[in-house]
Structure 1
């Protein structure tokens, strides 16, 4: 996996991940690295869309305990364009879908769900070869349902305000069979001998 360009990586403006944690008690893995490599290669964001000039390194994720909120920091390269020099809106939608799922699943009774609805408002172009922050918050949870709101924004430099690029709201529903399934869809690191049946997100995105 290739790191962001050296000129960016060594810049005084390179974001410091710890500054974006939602609370002091948050954990901060690069979750996709916990997925077996053979599975990762078949996944969309962790496989096909990862690598040089794409999703350059695994996003750095802070997840507040209990599924309350999450911040994911990422660097998107030059080969994920729709219009030249602008990150494809479909990729932003996919990142929101997976990020929102990662945020709310710990709040679910069986820690799993699928996307029932995802509404997106695009606010400004996301320029490639830049760092971005995805912020998500579980605003409501009732039984097998969780509602999540959030956004993708630029990362501030020199104290400037971030620019909101896209905002979204989503509803996730835990499948009725999740309580009895031996192999649930899961966002948590997998340590067993049987691989989980899919990656995060799902529903409309076909991940689960």
Structure 2
């Protein structure tokens, strides 16, 4: 009897403690306290790609805060967890073509987001690709919510900090609860460079439909 109770009770108690103590419940994320760097934002607006997308009627400029569920914004790295001086100092600037599934997100990567060699950390590259490709795929899912089922990345180059980069993504397949997106992360500085290419499979689990009223991601 004791062994049966232990098998059931201990995992439940441990899970409850883990949920209660896990750091994300103490997030310091507060959009109202974020400082936007207008100088960096202007440098992004000065890029040729930004100007081209602004003039293209097939692309709409999107608000990052409306692209993701509010609860998910707490863990959205580039405008939440790593938003700050010498990190990400502007929210991503997004352009989206809903017809073709083409997506662009502009970022400025600060000097603190580096690895030991002084170049932009591959973890930052992977995160920007994951967030960008998922953002491109969300609108094609039935509930506009999903999870990354697979993310394949080919790291090609590294760039120095204080670089303006763009995530370029394109939805290549969408059917039911599955979306396939290809993309890349590219530097937009004087010598444009492909930093990495990626393929993402985004899915909406079946049980999501039972919680359509609840913003859980």
Query: For the superposition of Structure 1 and Structure 2, which TM-score range results when normalised by the shorter chain?
Result: 0.7 to 0.9
Question: Alpha carbons of 1:147 and 1:31: their partners in 2 closer, same or farther (altered >3 Å)?
Answer: same
Structure 2 CA distance, aligned partners of 1:36 and 1:143? Answer: 20
Counterpart residue number, 1:173: 203
Instruction: Tell me: higher relative CO, structure 1 or 2? Use CA pairs within 8 A at least 6 residues apart.
Output: 1
| Aligned Cα root-mean-square deviation (Å) | 3.0
Counterpart selection for 1:164 from 194, 214, 217: 194
Instruction: List gaps (5 residues or longer) in structure 2.
Output: 1-34
Contact kept, 8 Å, 2:67 with 2:135, in 1: the verdict is no
Instruction: List gaps (5 residues or longer) in structure 1.
Output: 185-195, 199-208
Structure 1 CA distance, aligned partners of 2:87 and 2:110? Answer: 5
Counterpart residue number, 1:131: 164
Question: Alpha carbons of 1:92 and 1:124: their partners in 2 closer, same or farther (altered >3 Å)?
Answer: same
Counterpart residue number, 1:77: 110
Counterpart residue number, 1:118: 151
Counterpart residue number, 1:151: 184
Question: Alpha carbons of 1:127 and 1:183: their partners in 2 closer, same or farther (altered >3 Å)?
Answer: farther
Contact kept, 8 Å, 2:90 with 2:108, in 1: the verdict is yes
Counterpart residue number, 1:193: none
- TM-score w.r.t. structure 1 length? 0.74
Structure 2 CA distance, aligned partners of 1:175 and 1:11? Answer: 40
1:9 Cα deviation from its structure 2 partner = 6.7
Paired positions, count: 182
When structure 1 is superposed on structure 2, of 8-17 and 122-131 the one drifting more is 8-17
Instruction: State which structure, 1 or 2, has the greater radius of gyration over its C-alpha atoms.
Output: 2
